[in-house]
Amino acid sequence: MPELIVTNFNRNFTGVSATAAGVVRQQASRYDLALAGHALPGCPDPISPAVALRLSRAVPSGRPFILWHVRRNPEMRKALWARDVLRLPVRIVFTSAAQRRHSLVPRWLISRMDAIIATTDRAAEFVPHVRAVVPHGVDTERFFPAADRDKAWAATGFPGARGIATIGRIRAEKGTDRFVAAMLRLLPDQPDVTALVIGRAATADKAFLQNLKDQIATAGLSDRILFPGEVAPEALPALLRGLSAVVQLPRYEGYGMAPLEGMASGVPFVATDAGYYRSFAAQGRTGLITTDDAQDTADALRMLLSDPARHAAMSSAARDAAEIHFSIQREADGIGAVYEAMWSEG
C-alpha cells in the first residue's frame, strides 16, 4: 500500500515532467511510492489513475492518510475527486512555479489543496496554503561536466568546434525569436560556433517557426543555426556537456531548468531576467543576465566565448553552485519536510 502517490498525467515530456522525474528518483528510495499516469525516465513503472484510486481506499500502515503530490490541473482534479467525492483518506500537495496570477479554474483548484510548495518566493505570492518554498533542483549525477568539452561537442555530431543552445518549446513566450535574432548578430564573427534550437513547435506555432527559418536563410546561416527538434531525456546530459553556453531568453518563465541543468554540466548561461535565472546567475559568477535586446545578448556571449579564463571560472562556479545550492537531493529534502509535517499533524 503506497504512502505517497505522485501523478504525471501528461504523456509529453515537459519541463514539469523533468522536475517531477528528478524528485521521484530521489523519493523512490525514501517512501513507499507509486507513480500514477505516464512513465518518467529512471522512475518506477507507472500505474493507471484508476489503480491509484483503488490503492487509496485504505490508510497505509503507520500513516494517517495517503499523500497525493500533483503538479497540473488534471492531476488536481483527480486528487480532489479522490478526496472530496470518493471520500478516500487522501491529502493533496501541489507544487506551484508560476510567477503570475493563475486563471480562474486553476485558482479554484489550488485553493482546494491541502498544502502548496512554491518553487520561489515570487511564486508563493500567487497561491494560498504555502507550507514551504523549495526551489527545483538538478540531478548532479545525471548532469555533470565533460572531462574534455571539445571531444564532448564533437561526439554530438553537430558541425563547428563549439556549440551554444536554447532549450524549450519553440514559441514567442519562450523567446525563440530573441535567440535567433541574437545569433544573427553573433555568428558572423564566430565562425567556429554552431547554434542549436532544441525543442519543437506546436501546430499553432508552425508559422512562427517558418518565419525564423526564413530569416536565417536570408542571412545565409542555415548551416549554423540548426533545429534538431526535441532531444530525448536520456540523451540531453551528453549534449549539454558539449555546449559552451546555454542561452534562455523567455518573455515569461515560471522557474526554468535549462540553465540549471547546464550549470550542473559545467556550462555557463546567458539569460533574460525571468524565472529563477537571476538567483542561478550568482551575480555573474555562473551566468549573465541580459536584456531583451539582441545586440546585448550577442555582446554578452561574445565576451564569454572570447575569454577562456573567465569561461573556465564560470564553468567551475556553475558546477559548484548546482551541487551546493540547487541539488535534487536538497529539493527532495525540502519536499520531504512538508510531507512529514503533514503526516505528523494527522
What average pLDDT score do residues 13-31 get?
Answer: 93
H or E segment and range at residue 167: strand 162-167
CATH code of the domain covering residue 280: 3.40.50.2000
Q: Domain for residue 143, yes or no?
A: no
pLDDT of 33 over the 90 cut: yes
Distance CA 339, CA 93 (A): 8
pLDDT bin (cut points 50, 70, 90) of residue 71 is very high
Tell me, yes or no, whether 44 and 91 share the same domain.
yes
Provide the β-strand partners of residue 272: 290
pLDDT of residue 22: 93
pLDDT of 339 over the 90 cut: yes
pLDDT of residue 50: 97
Provide the β-strand partners of residue 247: 270
pLDDT bin (cut points 50, 70, 90) of residue 340 is very high
Tell me, yes or no, whether 233 and 262 share the same domain.
yes
Report the number of distinct structural domains present in the chain.
2
Tell me, yes or no, whether 101 and 66 share the same domain.
yes
pLDDT bin (cut points 50, 70, 90) of residue 323 is very high
Tell me, yes or no, whether 187 and 283 share the same domain.
yes
Tell me, yes or no, whether 306 and 336 share the same domain.
no
Residue (of 162, 165, 143) closest to 249 by Cα position: 165
pLDDT bin (cut points 50, 70, 90) of residue 212 is very high
Q: What is the CA radius of gyration of the chain?
A: 21
pLDDT of residue 121: 94
Tell me, yes or no, whether 177 and 310 share the same domain.
yes
CB 289 within 8 A of CB 278: yes
pLDDT of 276 over the 90 cut: yes
pLDDT bin (cut points 50, 70, 90) of residue 9 is very high
Provide the β-strand partners of residue 70: 94
pLDDT of 194 over the 90 cut: yes
Range of the domain at 235: 149-325
pLDDT of residue 14: 86
pTM of the model: 0.89
Tell me, yes or no, whether 317 and 177 share the same domain.
yes
Task: Return the DSSP state at 44.
Answer: P
pLDDT bin (cut points 50, 70, 90) of residue 345 is very high
End-to-end CA distance of the chain, in Å? 18
Distance CA 65, CA 91 (A): 7
Report the share of the chain in percent with pLDDT over 70.
100
Tell me the pLDDT of the chain averaged across its residues.
Answer: 96
Distance CA 294, CA 181 (A): 6
Residue 203: partners with Cβ closer than 8 Å, 6 or more residues away? none
Tell me, yes or no, whether 273 and 332 share the same domain.
no
pLDDT of 76 over the 90 cut: yes
